[in-house]
Structure 1
Amino acid sequence: MSVPGKCIFCGGKGLTKEHLFPQWMRPLLQGYVEASELPSYAQLRTFGGLSVPGLPSANGWNNQGYIFNKRLRVVCRSCNNGWMSQQEQATKSLLTAMIEGRPAPLGQDEQFQLALWCALRAAIFERDDPKNAAISRYQYRYIYEHRTLPDGWKVFAASYSGLEWAARMFHLSGKVLNINDQSMPSAPNTHLTAIGMGKTICVVLGSTATNASFVTTRLSPTGLEQIWPFVQALEWPVAPEIGDEALGQIAYGTPYFM
């Protein structure tokens, strides 16, 4: 859990407002937002109580709204204008090509940059509902100090052929039983974030449960390519494309969280 009033990454002061989606994406995605009837960002309240498999579904909407208006005051000016801005610039041309569905090579470095960008979006988005946050203060600090994803995280990507998720973020968090000692954590320890951008969908998974590897493996979506940890080089766009129905099952927890 981060400290209120301090940067979620470095712990510094002087917070600035950070957009969920950067403003340079707006002209690329605005048409999708206007065409969709769904809120373009949303969170679910925590699910909890059972070990994987057999997680219950989440219990209702918590926050939702228009993604380009959503800003969170959780990152300091130094991080926002420094290493995070540099990482954004390193990923911008690749993200643009993927949003538009244009060919692009996804080697190990490209996949790492994309995975880190997605992880940062997920980490920032989770702070919209801090009482149900599953990402620990240690993990935020780890990202800041090492400029990479924490242990126990996975990121996936796929080409997207639908409309509802073409400009959308969705997050849920929950409690997963620690198998080693059969204890239930006092706070959420597992999270999933789906990020839809034009012709691309990415999913971020993470867990700090004692059986985290099993949890993230169990929750890993089918039909998407794993880009973190690195498995193999890819050529974008990848086949097959994923549609709204399959993506809804992944993001909303069916069958993964039912």
Structure 2
Amino acid sequence: MTDSCAFCGSTRPLTREHVFGQWVSKIGLDLSPVRHIAGPLNGVPRDMGEQPPYRQTVKDFCSSCNNGWMSRLEDTARRVLSPIILGEPGAISTQDQPVIAVWAQKTALTAMLLSSKEQRSRGYGLPKSVYTMFYDCQSRMEPLGGSRFWVGQYEGKLGFAAIHVTPLAVRIPGIAELDRPQCYAVTIVLGKLALHGLVFTTPALEIDVTMSLGIPQIWPPQGPVRWPTGQPCTEAMFQHLANGKMLGSAVESVELQPWTPAIDLPRSVIVDGKVHVPALCGKHSYCYPAVILAEALRGRFYAFATGCACPQAYLIQTEADAAHCKAIGAAEGISDMYEALPGTEVVIHEEAGLFVCKRLPVVPAG
């Protein structure tokens, strides 16, 4: 963004705004320091170090926005969401539902500004026009046009908080994927609260959607909502939800899927019995024995630690569809994460030496 307010465009002096309102750190959540990262879904994130949670700020909004409508938004969010975040039964009235949807979008748009200037110069983030349109909507206290939002319960690691924005594409048979996303999935996890939403930014391609998690919709409102209701989002399900893969098209022959350039790396290749995979840094690759890929096709999955010349270390796990990077960071930390994984260590003999990995325990179906 420029030196003008990201929302209203004012050139008045900019002020700092918390990504999560200051009230979040005062309601009884664990404030132990945790690692913070921000950045693209398929690239090396910006490492902001280990620090107490809920204190990250950006300096992109004028005092009029920050101390006016944004402050009033946080007041309502604190009243409505505090018990839910702490896991206490609660409710969201029909009148409060649009405000919570607006809060979720404001929080996500603010979080996107945590990325580095270099990342944004390469196209990361949402267009400035989305911020302007959002500002135009706030006077009505309604989210952006073409939005849907659901509220659910998160059951996962204590102290986990995340804000994900995933570009999505509306795919029509016979038409190539467009050069820009047509909508965005927004996912916020905070304590026991899970908010999931969708906003179409190409009105001509707005479609009816389904939500497979079975949690209540809060925008457009369908009546008062009791919490918790519906299937909880577990730690194992979170990435699937955040990637927009629990959203579907309600229109026959039309698909709603993650926008390929935002989530995919160039395809891996098999050379001399090894799978060569582009690393998240975008400059290097890592490799693993092709036998592990064959094992994945049989439902047997492995984890291993590897690295590239940046230097970056990666924790990789094979799954049914591909090998996925589960963590990135310093070699010592990645090694500790690998050692902590359950499973049986396996040594594979290769011409170049030994490849050490862990066969992961089978997770029972259902």
TM-score (norm 2): 0.56
1:99–1:200 contact (8 Å) kept in structure 2: yes
2:79 aligns to what? 93
1:177–1:209 contact (8 Å) kept in structure 2: no
The structure richer in helix per residue is 1
* Structure 2 SS opposite 1:148: coil
1:55 aligns to what? none
**2:234 counterpart (225, 240, 243):** 243
* Structure 2 SS opposite 1:196: strand
> 1-side partners of 2:125 and 2:55: how far apart?
22
Question: How many residue pairs are counted as aligned between the two chains?
Answer: 237
Q: What is the Cα deviation at residue 235 of structure 1? A: 1.4
2:125 aligns to what? 133
> 2-side partners of 1:227 and 1:172: how far apart?
19
* Structure 2 SS opposite 1:160: strand
Matches within 5 A, 1:153-172: 153-163=147-157, 166-172=159-165
CA deviation profile, 1:69-124 (whole Å, cap 9, x unmatched): 42111111111001111121122121111112223232211222221111110121
> 2-side partners of 1:128 and 1:187: how far apart?
22
2:209 aligns to what? 217
1:134–1:188 contact (8 Å) kept in structure 2: no
In 2 relative to 1, CA 175–195 (structure 1 residues): closer, same or farther, beyond 3 Å? closer
2:24 aligns to what? 25
**Runs of 4+ in structure 1 over 4 Å off:** 64-67, 177-189, 253-256
> 1-side partners of 2:38 and 2:98: how far apart?
26
> Any stretches of 5+ residues in structure 1 without a counterpart?
46-58
> Any stretches of 5+ residues in structure 2 without a counterpart?
247-256, 264-366
> 2-side partners of 1:76 and 1:117: how far apart?
18
Q: What is the Cα deviation at residue 159 of structure 1? A: 1.6
> 2-side partners of 1:190 and 1:132: how far apart?
15
> 2-side partners of 1:168 and 1:29: how far apart?
14
The structure richer in strand per residue is 2
> 2-side partners of 1:106 and 1:144: how far apart?
19
> 2-side partners of 1:20 and 1:120: how far apart?
9
* Structure 1 SS opposite 2:217: strand
* Structure 2 SS opposite 1:4: coil
What is the one-letter code of the residue matched to 2:76? A
* Structure 1 SS opposite 2:209: helix
> 2-side partners of 1:180 and 1:77: how far apart?
48
**1:114 counterpart (90, 97, 100):** 100
* Structure 2 SS opposite 1:125: helix
Percent identity for Structure 1 against Structure 2: 22
> 2-side partners of 1:137 and 1:181: how far apart?
33
2:143 aligns to what? 149
2:98–2:143 contact (8 Å) kept in structure 1: no
What is the one-letter code of the residue matched to 1:7? C
> 2-side partners of 1:142 and 1:127: how far apart?
19
Q: 136-145 or 70-79, which moves further after superposition?
A: 136-145
> 1-side partners of 2:33 and 2:59: how far apart?
29
**1:205 counterpart (198, 210, 215):** 198
CA deviation profile, 1:194-245 (whole Å, cap 9, x unmatched): 211211111232221355433x726x45233221111232112224322111
In 2 relative to 1, CA 248–99 (structure 1 residues): closer, same or farther, beyond 3 Å? same
2:185–2:197 contact (8 Å) kept in structure 1: yes
* Structure 1 SS opposite 2:45: strand
In 2 relative to 1, CA 250–138 (structure 1 residues): closer, same or farther, beyond 3 Å? same
2:351 aligns to what? none
1:60 aligns to what? 43
In 2 relative to 1, CA 64–111 (structure 1 residues): closer, same or farther, beyond 3 Å? farther
1:15–1:75 contact (8 Å) kept in structure 2: yes
> 2-side partners of 1:182 and 1:29: how far apart?
51
CA RMSD of superposed structures (Å): 3.1
> 1-side partners of 2:174 and 2:59: how far apart?
37
1:29–1:198 contact (8 Å) kept in structure 2: no
